[in-house]
Amino acid sequence: MANWQSTNVLIPQLIGLLAEDGFTSKQLFSLPALQQFTSRDTKSFNAIEILKILECAVTLTNDSTLMVRLGRQVDITTLGTFGFALMSCADLHEALKLLLRYRAIIGPTTPSLDVHEVANGIALRIQLGLGNPVQQRLIAELTFSQITFIAEALIDELVTAGEVHLSYPAPVNQEAFQSLFSVPVKFDQAYSELVIPESSLDLRIRTANPAGHVIFQNQCEELLRGLNRVENFSAAIRRILIRAGGEFPMINQVASMLHVSESTLRRRLKDESTNFRAICDEVRNVLACQYLSTTKLTVSEIANLLDYAETVSFRRAFVRWNGTTPSQYRQAALIA
């Protein structure tokens, strides 16, 4: 995704940023890949759709710094209990531990971050399972921009120590890109990661509140337990379908696996602003993108793997999901 914030915050912030640049939401959602979203509530967008919107926004503006700028629109108060927990931390090290433990409660598009020890510090290495190569670049830029901006807001000063590493070539306007970060940005690196020195982790947070921190952390823990106890059904279904690898079970079979009735499952998915067919399409798209970018399977073979009776139906669906043909996507992945 997508990111630290829920969809109903991120997308309006994107639209607001586009307006500052002279672009309207109508222009954005008039793009061929987004026309089906025109009448949708922003709360209904899933992770795949959010990534598509972000990619189209960059295409519309032709601004390679857009995601970094969007990341700097983040407002800690929009993060709810988690935001208050961050503000009550003693230092950035405590805030980082909070992020790593409770990122699941922030939103469906929050990327996975692995911690790796490096000389005199740590590296937050981003792990992305969704989206095409372009979308994965955008979410990395958005995430690192958000993290650094929130860190600066917490300590009320610029974070100048550390580095942003990105695993792809520098954009044409590299200087403008760099100017938006207070730490050096290096391209063509082995991994996309945020390198944080120990000295930065020890920086004190200006709103530290030990007593309040206990309360807010307990609230985060309660939210996390609730998420694990009453699991997000769409996430559970995605895991089941991905394990199936293309031979998807029927909804009644999935309901049985989750120990609920079909009607209950449909109702719970509606509460999560999605449905079984949409999740199937999302997983098919993820698998299709992986097959196209990592294998030499033909488009026809991929269509068959994903249980399409006709290759033309798969091609039509893929264009609807990604705004490009399977062959064009594969070519772009090879170049990337």
What domains does the chain contain, in order, with CATH numbers? 7-201 (3.90.1520.10), 233-335 (1.10.10.60)
The percentage of residues in the chain with a pLDDT greater than 90, rounded to a whole number, is 41
The H or E element containing residue 241 is: helix 233-244
Residue 305's pLDDT is 84
Q: What is the mean pLDDT of residues 98-126?
A: 80
Whether 102 shows a pLDDT value over 60: the answer reads yes
Residue 77's pLDDT is 79
What confidence tier does 144 reach under pLDDT thresholds 50, 70, 90?
very high
Can you state the angle between helices 311-322 and 47-61, rounded to 10 degrees?
60
Rounded distance, CA 287 to CA 200, Å?
39
Whether 163 shows a pLDDT value over 70: the answer reads yes
What confidence tier does 112 reach under pLDDT thresholds 50, 70, 90?
confident
Residue 227's pLDDT is 56
Residue 101's pLDDT is 82
SS3 297: coil
Of the candidate ranges 47-61, 215-229, 319-333, the one whose mean pLDDT is the lowest: 215-229
Q: What is the mean pLDDT of residues 276-301?
A: 86
Rounded distance, CA 103 to CA 117, Å?
20
Residue 211's pLDDT is 82
Residue 234's pLDDT is 85
pTM of the model: 0.70
Average pLDDT score, the chain: 85
Residues 285-297 as b or e (16 or more Cβ within 10 Å = b)? bbbbbebbeeeee
What confidence tier does 104 reach under pLDDT thresholds 50, 70, 90?
low
Residues 105-134 as b or e (16 or more Cβ within 10 Å = b)? bbbbbbbebeeeeeeebbbbbbebebbbbb
Whether 249 shows a pLDDT value over 70: the answer reads yes
Residues 1-19 have pLDDT tens digits of 334 344 457 888 899 999 9
Residue 3's pLDDT is 40
